[in-house]
Chains A and B, each alone.
Chain A
Amino acid sequence: MEILVCARRVPDTSENEIALNSAGNDIERDDLVYSINEWDNYAVEEALQIVARIGGTVTVVTVGNDDDEEVLRREMAMGANHGVLISDPAFDGSDAKGIATILKTFIQKGRYDLILTGVQAEDGGAQVGGMLAALLDYPFASLVNSLEVLDGGKLKISREIEGGNKEINEIDLPCVLSIQTGINEPRYVGMRGIRQVASVPIPTFNASSLGIDPSNVGEAAARVKRVDYFVPALGKGAQMLEGSREENIDKLVELVAAKGGLK
């Protein structure tokens, strides 16, 4: 099976405190630790496990710039066969539909049976996968938390719905799936693995090599634009205990006991 995984490099929320910059129009990006979007990493692992069972190749693609090569190499160190970078200044300011349009054009130049995305990105909104499927006119399923390849060009998938329940579906290939965290246990990538793929060439495409009309993507075509970031005025907010650890523990025990929280 030929599998394409669409991935992104994002600020890692488990490594960073996200704060506003001094101008208040963006987050403070100096010194941010970036990593692969967590959901996308699960998608790559799922692709690798499918290929290990039934054969095929895994290609990881990202729309970004030279800095984003590092996530492609990381996923290649995990075992992905190919990494592809799609990069052009004309793509800057693209909204989700713009990104989906760029990916659609790339996908139509190849032949993929299955396209995976993460359910969402740290700074996104669970949108590119569903849009991409609609642009390709492929069937789509979101929030996929298990996957089995059936005979006859079909998959049996389960979707995560409310209360930990699972919705089981059959879906025809080719299709687009958005992959939920927890579907598998992504393998560890060591420095040695990354060094081994450090010099593997990464093909790069731009607007002209993909034949994309710049007026259909980028800021000019974007109907959705982020204006600024802000930190909303808090509601009442927590009463912060700011004593020594011992004082905080004493106060906490007193509060919990008063609320009937100690037996």
Chain B
Amino acid sequence: MARIFAYIIHKNGVADDSAAELVAAAKQIEASTLATAIVIGRSADLDTVCGNLHTSYGEIWKVADDALAYPNAELVRQALVKVLPRDSVLLVPHEHFGIDLAPGLSIKLNAAFVSDVVAIDEVKSDSLKVVRQEFGGQVSAHVCCDISSGVVLTIRPGAFKPQGMSPANGVVVDKSSEVGALTARRRYLETVVAEAGDVDITKHTVLVSIGRGIQEKDNVAIAQELADAMGAALSCSRPVVDAKWLEKSRQVGTSGKTVKPKVYLACGISGAFQHLAGLKGNPFIIAINKNPKAPIFQVADVGIVDDLLEFLPELTNKIREMHSVSVK
């Protein structure tokens, strides 16, 4: 088996949670040896990152360069092409940086590429069989991949659970001198932080959340009425924001807000992983969807297959009736 490398995402001197998940993924490919971490960035940020990785990685390759202070995928790619052995297995988190970096990197390394891997199914000396999800998670696929000249895999965040293991005592190897001059035709300018909305969905314990199944802008009011009756806030999944039916600040998911409600009523939400990744704290999830195969039913506590546009108003009426009884 070729050497396994893990690309470490870090910010402000702290490695991302994915660093531990990639250890777990690497372990499933090759149980007997520890993976090598690759840490790229500005020198001042790297020492604490590397220091925290030596307990879980067998070796840590450090590439320090002021040009890499912000992880511009084009520059990082040039650095990796210089440093990585050609038949490597490289694991990269499947998030916005990995999506930017990995496909083009695989071309420049002449390595195979599989994206958004959720499980490792079978390992042979020159091939891997992995699992991906397609069609919004409605079905999974086994994908076989020839790794004889290397492979780049992007790994879905959260799919591989970090496990306790004996400390690795990895050594840091400085590879900075192998990189040479870096030039980019894409230049990072700034990060614009998301605007706060009228309602802070992260502060609510009960969320009524709507997805594509709400069908039309005019139907959003049906869900708002239910939320009002329940004393809940209204949130949503990505398609509702794309269609401009609700503000971005109402979106739950990786590209929206991370929420920790006690109760989450998912109405017409299919349950794509990017949405579920924004749902923390193990809430009680109730899913209402007309599609019995919707992936949301795999993660929900309670499921109902029904037509939202009929079901929600009746639910609202029921809750209002209860309120009027209790007031009397």
Contact = CB atoms under 8 A, between A and B. Distances in A.
B160 interface: no
Nearest to B190: A168
Nearest to B205: A260
Nearest to A235: B298
Interface residues of A, number: 82
Contact of A143 (B99, B135, B189, B239): B99
A13 B138 contact: yes
Given A134-B108, A229-B139, A252-B315, A165 B194 contact: yes
Contacts, number: 258
B301 interface: yes
Q: Which of A166, A250, A262 has the most CB of B within 10 A?
A: A262
Contacts of A263: 206, 230-232
B64 interface: no
B242 A169 contact: no
B103 A126 contact: yes
Nearest to B244: A185
Given A167-B188, A223-B146, A238-B297, A125 B116 contact: yes
B198 to A, nearest CB: 15
Contact of A238 (B230, B239, B241, B302): B302
A159 B98 CA distance: 13
Q: Is the interface of B mostly helix, strand, loop or mixed?
A: mixed
Interface stretch (B25-33, B83-91, B170-178, B249-257): B249-257
B15 interface: no
Contacts of B238: 181-182
Nearest to B291: A17
Contacts of A255: 284, 286, 302
A54 B185 CA distance: 23
Interface size grouping (class) on chain B: 35 or more
B230 A262 contact: yes
A256 B141 contact: no
A127 B103 contact: yes
Interface stretch (B41-49, B52-60, B161-169, B304-312): B304-312
Given A123-B135, A133-B104, A238-B297, A256 B187 contact: no
A165 B115 contact: no
A231 B99 contact: no
By secondary structure, the A interface counts as: mixed
Given A143-B100, A259-B284, A164 B249 contact: yes
A224 B191 CA distance: 35
A181 B239 CA distance: 8
A71 interface: no
B242 A238 contact: no
A20 B139 contact: yes
A143 B96 contact: yes
Contacts of A226: 141-144
B192 A158 contact: yes
B319 interface: yes
Given A11-B135, A18-B293, A238-B302, A169 B315 contact: no
A151 B231 CA distance: 51
B303 A241 contact: yes
Contacts of B310: 245
A159 B285 CA distance: 31
A127 B113 contact: yes
B79 to A, nearest CB: 15
Given A160-B96, A168-B191, A169-B188, A253 B319 contact: yes
Nearest to B294: A17
A53 interface: no
27 contacts: A18-B135, A18-B138, A18-B139, A122-B135, A129-B103, A130-B101, A135-B107, A161-B96, A166-B194, A167-B188, A168-B189, A169-B187, A171-B185, A227-B141, A234-B298, A241-B303, A245-B306, A250-B318, A252-B302, A252-B315, A253-B315, A253-B322, A255-B284, A261-B206, A261-B284, A262-B230, A262-B322
The list of the 3 closest CB pairs from A to B, nearest first, reads A263-B231, A130-B103, A164-B194
Interface of B: 73-74, 95-96, 99-108, 112-116, 129, 131-132, 134-136, 138-146, 154, 184-194, 205-206, 212, 230-232, 238-239, 241-244, 248-249, 251, 254-258, 262-263, 265, 270, 284-287, 291-293, 297-306, 310-311, 314-315, 318-319, 322
